[in-house]
Amino acid sequence: MKAIAVEPGAGEPTLVERPRPEPEAGEALVRTLRVGVDGTDHEVIAGHHGEVPPGEDRLVLGHEAVGVVADPNGTDLEEGEYVVPTVRRPPDGTNEYFERGEPDMAPEGEYLERGIVGAHGFMAEYFTSPAETLVPIPERLAHLGFLVEPISVSEKAIEHAVAARSAFEWEPESALVLGNGSLGLLTLAMLEEVLGFDRTYCLGRRDRPDPTIDIIDELGATYVDSRETPVPEIPDEHESVDFVYEATGYAKHAFEPIEALAPNGVAALVGVPEPWSFEIDGGRLHREFVLHNKALVGSVNSHRGHFEAATDTLEGLPEWLFDDLVTGVYDLSEYERAFETGDEIVKTAVEFAPVR
Amino acid sequence: MKAIAVEPGAGEPTLVERPRPEPEAGEALVRTLRVGVDGTDHEVIAGHHGEVPPGEDRLVLGHEAVGVVADPNGTDLEEGEYVVPTVRRPPDGTNEYFERGEPDMAPEGEYLERGIVGAHGFMAEYFTSPAETLVPIPERLAHLGFLVEPISVSEKAIEHAVAARSAFEWEPESALVLGNGSLGLLTLAMLEEVLGFDRTYCLGRRDRPDPTIDIIDELGATYVDSRETPVPEIPDEHESVDFVYEATGYAKHAFEPIEALAPNGVAALVGVPEPWSFEIDGGRLHREFVLHNKALVGSVNSHRGHFEAATDTLEGLPEWLFDDLVTGVYDLSEYERAFETGDEIVKTAVEFAPVR
């Protein structure tokens, strides 16, 4: 079967031929339909992140997949059922994090990540996976199933942020998303359309006309150009916000939200920057953080419950959003196009088999 | 009646004569027994913090009080009942934070603080206070009642930190307290004796022999000298910790805990530093914060529920701790001694009337 793999640092993925996998006991065989491409894939391709499985020279890419069960292999799944696989797997048998259904809380060394860290991904015509890692989705969402994984990452981050405000009465009204990439835009849509925030803002550094700014406008959110209004100036220019979601991976965006948050607000961070030293007014930030009861939570990955919540969220988002957000779904014969980047490209996927 | 007041910036408190207050409807009159002195008092005395009530030239100090009801004045309280007053009051009538019993979550401008911001404190022979702000404590704790307020500050900070970890299974075993002042030591004792942490550490910058290090030793905690082992080196020297409690007001201690925390850990910050700019490796901190699901919560003040919890905590702490911690309780005739500072002084209080 065909698969899309990368030799770390080679700079571009290649099409490789691999044997079709045989499901082991407890695993199902899945026919891959679509697999999304995101920033993590580009980091793996560039050799900045990720790890090839031991003893191999290439990593099969892909961690945002949707497929259809080809062989349930004695599991509770049914042939023809649409499924989205979770990403983390235990490195040796299992461990406490996987046993309690919280692989997303496993520390480094206690997990592999399919398509990223030490385990082949889903960019192949077929993949196998333990039944409990395959989350069923309705047939009507199958064409968008590759968005469940990125949305699940936000489901978790938002769940942790809300938990951090659960010791008192917190009724957030305003939210700021840092980053107008596909994850930022999906999260902005969640906040606007599903979670009922009254006022939302999305930070980017692009000029109009731009397809991401069009989506921000269409959602009824306010676009904030970081070149004109850096994060610490947002309260003066717009308002202090109850919730900040950081999806830029820009290191200053871990600290600047303290100044953009309203009293009792919380910021969720999901970006993963490289080391970078800079100066901050740590005294002022510390003081403001304490005197106004603010909180910061870091969040990575997601567990099965977040995938299930993401499926519900996906169903609650308007159809036009996907038309505007998904700028390209490419057949395996032109898979390279899914990895192109540019201001006109928002979210892409590779199609391994047509979605009925 | 006699009261201890300060003219901001005068550098030392003075004994003043004031009329005994008359309780208004809903208020009780309280005979003050003891009032503790803490770092906030010293900041108010130095003129770095606090605000005199409008139209007055002096602020009566004191926010850590215990007293006995002298006149219930028609409230549900009983004459002779021992009570600890909460600290915040609404500036005008009331507001949403006070109405829902969460004055600790009120932003600047929405509260006064007795003895600190715009309202006279409890360092007077009598004070009045609305019945709902007076938390009854058992007679056997009356002599230590001035410790309820500082403990309540930690109750809140810990409650918020635990809430921030409530979206997953979190079973913390190790904790690090930054600061060996009286609040740090009381919190260390809570973590060791009441909350059941297996391993605790307390950071200071003192040489042995020292009374605070003696308390740390006696509690079974490990003393960490920050001059030898700065916070970021604690994981190598000792271990990564599940919980950090910052009570130094040293601005770098808002950010260094990210490096000292174990995966999925949380740091609670309660210090209030002045502005101070310095360099941090924000990229590395941001990355670590996200990839290991860490959290930071800022926390200030406390509400009635925290005072009630603090009373229970006080009861669970060993008697020897108070003997070692409370290094001086001074009669009004020598009140100046309660405001002295030095390595031999841990916690002091002024006694306005003898505790039976």
SS3 string, A71-89, reads ECCCCCCCCCCEEEECCEE
How sure is the predictor about A53, in pLDDT bands with cuts at 50, 70 and 90?
A: very high
Strand order in the sheet with A88-89: A88-89, A112-114, A118-119
Instruction: State the greatest distance between any 2 C-alpha atoms of chain A, in Å, as a whole number.
Output: 60
Q: Which residues pair with A127 in a beta bridge?
A: A30
Question: Nearest C-alpha of chain A: how many angstroms from B159?
Answer: 7
Q: Cα(A316)–Cα(A138) distance, rounded to whole angstroms?
A: 13
Q: Does B181 belong to an annotated binding site?
A: yes
Contacts of B354 (CB under 8 A, 6+ apart): B33
Q: Which residues pair with A222 in a beta bridge?
A: A201
pLDDT at A267: 98
pLDDT tens digits, A271-322? 999 999 999 999 999 999 999 999 999 999 999 999 999 999 999 999 999 9
Q: Cα(A7)–Cα(A282) distance, rounded to whole angstroms?
A: 41
pLDDT tens digits, A9-52? 788 999 999 999 999 999 999 999 999 999 999 999 999 889 99
Q: Cα(A180)–Cα(A235) distance, rounded to whole angstroms?
A: 19
**Spatial contact of B35 and B60, defined as CB atoms under 8 Å apart:** no
The architecture (CATH level 2) of B2-136+318-351 comes to: Alpha-Beta Complex (3.90)
Confirm or reject contact between A283 and chain B (CB < 8 A). yes
Best probe of the B interface among A290, A301, A302, by most B CBs < 10 A, is A290
Residue A356, pLDDT > 80, answer: no
Handedness of CA A245, B269, A302, A318 (dihedral sign): negative
CB neighbourhood size of B123 (10 A): 32
pLDDT at B95: 96
Token duo for residue A309: 């919540």
Residue B8, pLDDT > 80, answer: no
DSSP state letter for B190 = I
Average pLDDT over residues B344-354: 98
Q: Residue B235's Cα: distance from chain center in Å?
A: 28
For B134, the 3-state DSSP assignment is: strand
**Spatial contact of B23 and B73, defined as CB atoms under 8 Å apart:** yes
> Residues A271, A273, A276, CA angle at the centre, nearest 5°?
145
pLDDT at B9: 75
CB neighbourhood size of A336 (10 A): 14
Token duo for residue A100: 């309690």
- Smallest CA-to-CA distance from A316 within A176, A164, A121, A155 is with A155
**DSSP alpha helix (H) spans, A194-239:** 211-218, 234-237
Q: Cα(B183)–Cα(A101) distance, rounded to whole angstroms?
A: 38
Q: Cα(B132)–Cα(B138) distance, rounded to whole angstroms?
A: 17
Q: Which fold has domain A152-298?
A: Rossmann fold (3.40.50)
Question: Nearest C-alpha of chain B: how many angstroms from A166?
Answer: 6
pLDDT at B319: 96
- Do strands A82-85 and A134-136 pair parallel, antiparallel, or not at all (unpaired)? antiparallel
Q: Cα(A261)–Cα(A241) distance, rounded to whole angstroms?
A: 5
Instruction: Look up residue A95 and give its amino acid.
Output: N
pLDDT tens digits, B234-277? 999 999 999 999 999 999 999 999 999 999 999 999 999 999 99
| Cβ-based contacts of B298 with chain A (< 8 Å) | 289-295
Give counts: helices (H), strands (E), chain B.
Answer: 10, 20
Residue A67, pLDDT > 80, answer: yes
CB neighbourhood size of B207 (10 A): 10
Average pLDDT over residues B96-104: 98
pLDDT tens digits, A149-204? 999 999 999 999 999 999 999 999 999 999 999 999 999 999 999 999 999 999 99
Q: Cα(A64)–Cα(A66) distance, rounded to whole angstroms?
A: 7
Contacts of B333 (CB under 8 A, 6+ apart): none
Phi, psi of B163 (to 5 degrees): -60, -40
pLDDT at A166: 98
Write out residues 61-100 of A within 8 Å (CB-CB) of B. Answer: 100
Domain range list for chain B: 2-136+318-351, 152-298
**Spatial contact of A352 and A125, defined as CB atoms under 8 Å apart:** yes
DSSP state letter for B273 = P
pLDDT at A34: 98
Best probe of the A interface among B293, B301, B306, by most A CBs < 10 A, is B293
pLDDT at B86: 98
Q: Cα(A149)–Cα(A122) distance, rounded to whole angstroms?
A: 12
pLDDT at A355: 94
Instruction: Look up residue B137 and give its amino acid.
Output: I
Write out residues 325-354 of A within 8 Å (CB-CB) of B. Answer: none
Complex prediction ipTM: 0.98
Average pLDDT over residues B16-20: 97
Q: Cα(A63)–Cα(A152) distance, rounded to whole angstroms?
A: 12
Question: Nearest C-alpha of chain B: how many angstroms from A297?
Answer: 4
Tell me how far apart the terminal alpha carbons of chain B are, to the nearest angstrom.
21
- Smallest CA-to-CA distance from B329 within B14, B33, B125 is with B33
- Counting residues of chain B whose pLDDT is more than 70, the rounded percentage is 100
Confirm or reject contact between A25 and chain B (CB < 8 A). no
Q: In this complex, which of A277, A279, A297 lies closest to B295 when CB atoms are compared?
A: A297
- Do strands A277-281 and B277-281 pair parallel, antiparallel, or not at all (unpaired)? antiparallel
Q: Cα(A255)–Cα(A269) distance, rounded to whole angstroms?
A: 10
Average pLDDT over residues B16-27: 98
Residue B334, pLDDT > 80, answer: yes
pLDDT at A197: 98
How sure is the predictor about A8, in pLDDT bands with cuts at 50, 70 and 90?
A: confident
For B322, the 3-state DSSP assignment is: helix
- Do strands A59-60 and B2-6 pair parallel, antiparallel, or not at all (unpaired)? unpaired
Q: Cα(B223)–Cα(A101) distance, rounded to whole angstroms?
A: 37
Token duo for residue B338: 């309660």
Interface A-B, measured as beta-carbon pairs within 8 A, has a size of: 194
Q: Does B301 belong to an annotated binding site?
A: yes
**Spatial contact of B84 and B145, defined as CB atoms under 8 Å apart:** yes
Q: Cα(A75)–Cα(A28) distance, rounded to whole angstroms?
A: 7
Contacts of A85 (CB under 8 A, 6+ apart): A30, A65, A67, A114, A122, A127, A129, A133, A134, A135
What single string gives the DSSP state of each residue in B134-174?
A: EEE--GGGGGGGGGHHHHHHHHHHHHHHHHTTTTS-----E
Residue B88, pLDDT > 80, answer: yes
How sure is the predictor about B10, in pLDDT bands with cuts at 50, 70 and 90?
A: confident
Average pLDDT over residues B35-55: 94
